[in-house]
Every structure is written in structure tokens, then in C-alpha cells.
């Protein structure tokens, strides 16, 4: 068997692995070598696998080592590992260890990219255009001045923004004079981009449920000279009850942030199975409200973009597929983005609608940008059939909750129930209502039972 130096490689037994775990795990170079060997053997298991040892033993060892070496909890290490072929998974974890390029977006309401680049070069900034796919992005290689405090920054000539964040707005392609909703918009990177593409015409409703975060949103809107933006703060699930009839809607959804681990390493250890369930549930509620906020008769639009800075399937394809099933009047369309991998149409035994391949995934190790997901929908007029299929949406949030609870949504059906209960408990607590202890059956007329 061909193998690297350091003696013959032997896969530890389950007992040895357990003992190593208890003892606080082996030396870095041992773990590194073991990962390399496992990747190599799994790449050609039929030929290289040791007699009597199964593929899953190698996989278990590899995931345990990834978790230990890169500092993830085992649950997340496995969840992310499963997204890729074995060797590629290592590239993904490795890419999360180094920062992505610093990028800025020219604010075309105030300047042109060429003029901005010249002004920054004059201040000692080394930069160049990001790529052909954007005519407003610049990549900063090095700078003798803080890029977030130059006179040009303060005058609103640019936004410090990850390249991946341009993508959903490019896909949304807002037009002059349209009425647009940015449902989860703080701190406004995408809102201000939308406003610029609309050349300060029409109106952009920039909503975020977190009031504190709307401060930085408002500050950015002012700094960048956006005059067509209205900032508001509602739970996205209250749309379209608070407002509807939009030509286009962007839902840059709250997510786990598994695409931006290089920026926020805390994600490695602070996400559990339950967090993903709760997030996916919220995303499913929000996506239906976003779709229902669109005017299907819009003369210029009728488009909706869903995006996350996460790479997990349950926050992306599963949410999109759920929306397709719940809203027969929407279909996925091409994002118009020139690159990005196709979304999964099946994943670990779950099959999604075949059009989910129109969605796009972006990865740090492939595209040298944050992990990201973009889906673009066209909303059409509801036919009689599709109308009868959905519960009245005018009442908004409550009905969406009911839909999630009452129907088998395939991906997370029964298992979801305890998380739904938990989120209800939280909502009641937030309202200052009494919450019954977990697992206690509510009395028929108790206030909790009534409120729930």
C-alpha cells in the first residue's frame, strides 16, 4: 500500500479513538497525517481500505479529526462534511481558516468606479476590479489608510461589502420606479445597492425586525445618499399584512452563518441541531410571507429573491422546495448570475423539485468568497386551484404558522414539532405571558393554552 512517511498507517479502533478523545487527543502532526491518509484511502476505498475495516470507520475518524483539528463541534463538522466529496470537504474547512478578500462596492449614486479607484489609489490603496461579473466592485489588496474611515467612505462613495453580498441584488435586478421590499435589511448593504440600481427612483422599503439594527441601516442609507428608501421595523412574518403589492422582494434571511465562518468562528461551536431546525422553520415562514407580498400582476417585476450566507441544505434548497410546494403560483427562474454551483435537487435521501438546480451556491474554496446561496422566483397570478390550496394569507403570520404545523412538509415534519413548541414558548415569554413548564399538558382553559 502506497503511503506517506512515518510508518504504516493504521486506522485506530473505536476504543482507541475513544481513549484518545478522553486523553485530550494526539499531536497535531499525527492528526494531520491521519486526515490525509483517511482522505487518500476513502478516495479509493476498494483498493486502499484495510481488510476488515469499513468505509464508515474511516469516515468517523476523519470527521472526528476535522472537528478536533479545525475546532468545530462534531455535529457541525459532520453536517458540513456531508456537503462535499471527501477531498473537497477538506478544502472547504481549510478555506474557512483564512479571511476572504476585502472588497468594496462603488456607490453609483455618488461616484463612478473609475473615479473612486483613482481617489483611493491616491491615498495609497492598492486595488483592482473584482471580476467581470460586477461593474461596481473593487478588491482591496493593501492599504496604508483604514478603508472604513477614508473621506470617500465617510462621503458615501462606497460600501465595505463582501463580494457575495452583491449577488442577490444582481439577481433581483430592481428597475427604475419600482416598489421593492428588502424584508431583512439591516445594516443595509443590499438595500443601498438596490437603491443605487434604481437610481434613487421608486421606493425601497427597508425592513428589519431588530430595531437596534435599523440604526446602522438608517446611517448607511443617509451616508450613501439613498433618497428612495423607507426604513421600517416589523417582523417579516407580518407582511403582507402591513404592506404588500411589491414589484420585487428580497429576503436575505436570518441564517446560521455557515458560509461566513472565516469572519465569525463562533459558528463552529455554537450551533446545534435544534438551532438549524428553528432557523429553517423561521425561514419557511418568512419565505411564504415574502412571496405573498409580491404583486403578481406587476408590469415590470413580480420577482422574489431568497438568499442566505449559509451553505446548509435545510436553510436553502429545503426552504426553496417548501415554498414551491406551498405556493403553486411561483416558479424558480435563472438567477442571471454568471457563476456559482447548481443547487442540490436531491440530498441524503431527500428529493427536491427538479427546478431547484436553478438556484446557485457559492463557496469560499471554489469562488474565494463567503459561502452563499441565491434563488430567484417569478410569482404568477394564483389560479383557482392554487388559491384553494393555500390558507387565506391576509391574516399573515398566524396562518403561516398553522400551515407549517398542520401539513406534512416532508423535510422536517414530526421532528419539527418540539422546536415549533419551543419557539412558541419563546414568543409567549417575550410577550410577558406565563409559559407552562416543558412537557406539561395545558389545562383546557389555561391562559397559556388560550394564548397558544
Whose Cβ is closer to ligand SAM: residue 114's or residue 215's? 215
Q: Of 38, 255, 289, 309, which residue is the catalytic one? A: 309
Binding residues among 379-418 for ligand SAM as defined by CB under 6 A: none
Nearby residues of 114 by Cβ (< 8 Å), 6 or more positions away? none
- 255 catalytic? Reply is no
Cα 432 from Cα 443, distance rounded (Å): 19
Please state the closest distance from residue 236 (CB atom) to ligand SAM, in A.
3
Distances (CA, A) of 232 to 208, 209, 326, 431: 7, 8, 27, 21
Binding residues among 233-262 for ligand SAM as defined by CB under 6 A: 235-237, 252, 254
What are the φ/ψ torsions at residue 447 (nearest 5 degrees)? -65, -35
Give the three-class secondary structure for 414.
helix
Cα 158 from Cα 125, distance rounded (Å): 14
Give the three-class secondary structure for 211.
coil
Cα 347 from Cα 384, distance rounded (Å): 33
Please state the closest distance from residue 182 (CB atom) to ligand SAM, in A.
6
Please state the closest distance from residue 220 (CB atom) to ligand SAM, in A.
8
Nearby residues of 361 by Cβ (< 8 Å), 6 or more positions away? 311, 316, 340, 341, 342, 343, 371, 372, 373
Contact map string, positions 185 to 224, toward ligand SAM, x by CB under 6 A: xxxxxx-----------------xxx--x-----------
Would you list which residues are annotated within the binding site for S-adenosyl-L-methionine? 184-190, 208, 235, 252
Whose Cβ is closer to ligand SAM: residue 50's or residue 427's? 427
**Radius of gyration of the chain, Cα coordinates, nearest whole angstrom:** 24
Cβ-based neighbour number of residue 198 at 10 Å: 22
Cα 195 from Cα 175, distance rounded (Å): 10
Find the length of the chain. Answer: 452
CB 423 within 8 A of CB 281: yes
- DSSP lists the bridge partners of residue 106 as 158
Please state the closest distance from residue 338 (CB atom) to ligand SAM, in A.
21
Whose Cβ is closer to ligand SAM: residue 183's or residue 393's? 183
Cα 104 from Cα 308, distance rounded (Å): 20
Task: Note whether 340 binds ligand SAM by CB under 6 A.
Answer: no
Nearby residues of 24 by Cβ (< 8 Å), 6 or more positions away? none
Binding residues among 146-185 for ligand SAM as defined by CB under 6 A: 165, 183-185
Helices 55-70 and 86-95 cross at an angle (nearest 10°) of 0
Cα 238 from Cα 395, distance rounded (Å): 9
Whose Cβ is closer to ligand SAM: residue 185's or residue 258's? 185
- DSSP lists the bridge partners of residue 301 as none
Considering CB under 6 A, how many residues would be counted as binding ligand SAM?
A: 18
> Which runs of E-coded beta strand occur in 301-408?
303-308, 330-333, 341-342, 346-347, 350-351, 360-362, 372-379
- DSSP lists the bridge partners of residue 128 as 139
Residues that bind ligand SAM (CB under 6 A): 165, 183-190, 208-210, 213, 235-237, 252, 254
Known catalytic residues?
Answer: 309
Amino acid at each position: 500500500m502506497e503511503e506517506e512517511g512515518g510508518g504504516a498507517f493504521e486506522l485506530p479502533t473505536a476504543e482507541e479513538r475513544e481513549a484518545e478523545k478522553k486523553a485530550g487527543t494526539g499531536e497535531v502532526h499525527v492528526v494531520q497525517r491521519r486526515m490525509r491518509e483517511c482522505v487518500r484511502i476513502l478516495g479509493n476505498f476498494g483498493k486502499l481500505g484495510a481488510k476488515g475495516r469499513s468505509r464508515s470507520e474511516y469516515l468517523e475518524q476523519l470527521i472526528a479529526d476535522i472537528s478536533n483539528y479545525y475546532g468545530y463541534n462534531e455535529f457541525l463538522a459532520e453536517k458540513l462534511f456531508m456537503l462535499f466529496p471527501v477531498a473537497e470537504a477538506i478544502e472547504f474547512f481549510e478555506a474557512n481558516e483564512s479571511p476572504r478578500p476585502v472588497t468594496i462596492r462603488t456607490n453609483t449614486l455618488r461616484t463612478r468606479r473609475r473615479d473612486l479607484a483613482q481617489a483611493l489609489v491616491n491615498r495609497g490603496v492598492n486595488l483592482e476590479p473584482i471580476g467581470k461579473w460586477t461593474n461596481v466592485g473593487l478588491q482591496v489588496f493593501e492599504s496604508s489608510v483604514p478603508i472604513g474611515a477614508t473621506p470617500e467612505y465617510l462621503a458615501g462613495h462606497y460600501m465595505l461589502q463582501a463580494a457575495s453580498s452583491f449577488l442577490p441584488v444582481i439577481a433581483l435586478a430592481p428597475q427604475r420606479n419600482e416598489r421593492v421590499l428588502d424584508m431583512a435589511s439591516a445594516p443595509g448593504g443590499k438595500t443601498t445597492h438596490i437603491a443605487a440600481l434604481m437610481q434613487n427612483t421608486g421606493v425601497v422599503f427597508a425592513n428589519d425586525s431588530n430595531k437596534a439594527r435599523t440604526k446602522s441601516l438608517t446611517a448607511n442609507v443617509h451616508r450613501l445618499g439613498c433618497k428612495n428608501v423607507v426604513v421600517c421595523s416589523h417582523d417579516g412574518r407580518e407582511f403582507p399584512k402591513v404592506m404588500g403589492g411589491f414589484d420585487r422582494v428580497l429576503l436575505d434571511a436570518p441564517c446560521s452563518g455557515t458560509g461566513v465562518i472565516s469572519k465569525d468562528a463562533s459558528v463552529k461551536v455554537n450551533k446545534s441541531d435544534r438551532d438549524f431546525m428553528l432557523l429553517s422553520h423561521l425561514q419557511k415562514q418568512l419565505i411564504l410571507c415574502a412571496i405573498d407580498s409580491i404583486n403578481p400582476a406587476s408590469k415590470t417585476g413580480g420577482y422574489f429573491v431568497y438568499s442566505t450566507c449559509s451553505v446548509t441544505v435545510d436553510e436553502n434548497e429545503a426552504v426553496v422546495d417548501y415554498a414551491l410546494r406551498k405556493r403553486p403560483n411561483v416558479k424558480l427562474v435563472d438567477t442571471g448570475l454568471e457563476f456559482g454551483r447548481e443547487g442540490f435537487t436531491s440530498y441524503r435521501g431527500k428529493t427536491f423539485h427538479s427546478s431547484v438546480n436553478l438556484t446557485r451556491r457559492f463557496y469560499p474554496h471554489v469562488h474565494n468568497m463567503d459561502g452563499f446561496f441565491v434563488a430567484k422566483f417569478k410569482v404568477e397570478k394564483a389560479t383557482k386551484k392554487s388559491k384553494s390550496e393555500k390558507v387565506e394569507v391576509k391574516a399573515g403570520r398566524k396562518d403561516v404558522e398553522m400551515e407549517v404545523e398542520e401539513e406534512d412538509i416532508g423535510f422536517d415534519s414530526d421532528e419539527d414539532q418540539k422546536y415549533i413548541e419551543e419557539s412558541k414558548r419563546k414568543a409567549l415569554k417575550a410577550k410577558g405571558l406565563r409559559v407552562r413548564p416543558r412537557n406539561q399538558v395545558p389545562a383546557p382553559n389555561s391562559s397559556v393554552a388560550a394564548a397558544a
